[in-house]
Amino acid sequence: MRLRNVKDAKERIDEAKKLIMDIPRNEKYPLDQVFNDGKPLEIEIGAGKGQFSHSLAKRQKATNHIAIEKFDSVIIRALEKLQEDPVDNLFLARCDAEQLSDFFGSNTVDKIYLNFSDPWPKARHEKRRLTHENFLKQYEEILKPEGVIEFKTDNRSLFEFSIQSLNHYGMVFEFISLDLHKDDIEDNIVTEFEERFSKHGPIYKLIARFKRGGN
């Protein structure tokens, strides 16, 4: 995502502590205590300006949602949306996905959404892809045993890499679409990037879970 410096983003994030938490690197925050009503918890990693999580939280009132994004200048847009149109089952977190297992306990998350994750096309940047094995290890730790990852992208190379990475990790695929908008869009919530890029080619989607206890 192209970043423009947004004036005062950091200050505005600090002021809105009821809606968003800023988690600097190497710091911990009990994000799992943000909601204590016992509802299932779903998180989006790399949420950008938050359109997807905002719509999802409005649609799924019986579930709590946390939208995670690493840049102030991007998540400030999600914060503005949440201030204009409050949704009490959505919370924002400004932090890096690398910190996930510092603040989500083991077996606490019901679903992880990865939408249009940055493709990092150069081989030397492979470890930054959010479907790299290093991230899968963290997802496995925080997801409940029956939890799933839902991933969509317009980037074929990233999709191929992700299938290989998840397969190599031993994950079980529950759904794969090579053209989501043709196959099944009834419940689909369109993200900002999806809106922009679905005109130019297919959207790929997969749903997968970790193998637990040998099944």
Ligand X SMILES: C[S@@+](CC[C@H](N)C(=O)[O-])C[C@H]1O[C@@H](n2cnc3c(N)ncnc32)[C@H](O)[C@@H]1O
Residues taking part in catalysis: 118
Q: Which is nearer to ligand X, 59 or 212 (CB)?
A: 59
Shortest Å, Cβ 113 to ligand X: 8
Tell the smallest beta-carbon distance from residue 97 to ligand X (Å).
4
Dist CA 55 CA 58 (whole Å): 5
Q: Using CA atoms, how far apart are residues 147 and 41, in angstroms rounded to an integer?
A: 10
Select 146 or 179, whichever has its Cβ closest to ligand X. 179
Residues with Cβ within 8 Å of 159's Cβ and at least 6 positions away in sequence, in order, are: 153, 204, 206
Residues that bind ligand X (CB under 6 A): 1, 45-48, 68-71, 74, 96-98, 115-118, 191-194
Q: How far apart are CA 74 and CA 200, in angstroms?
A: 24
Residue 214 Cβ vs ligand X, minimum distance, rounded to whole Å: 31
Q: Measured from the CB atom, is 74 or 171 closer to ligand X?
A: 74
Distance (Å, rounded) from C-alpha 114 to C-alpha 69? 11
CB of 50 to ligand X, least distance (A): 8
Query: Nearer to ligand X by C-beta: 89 or 138?
Result: 138
Radius of gyration of the chain measured on its C-alpha atoms? 17
- Beta strand pairing call for 20-22 and 90-94: parallel
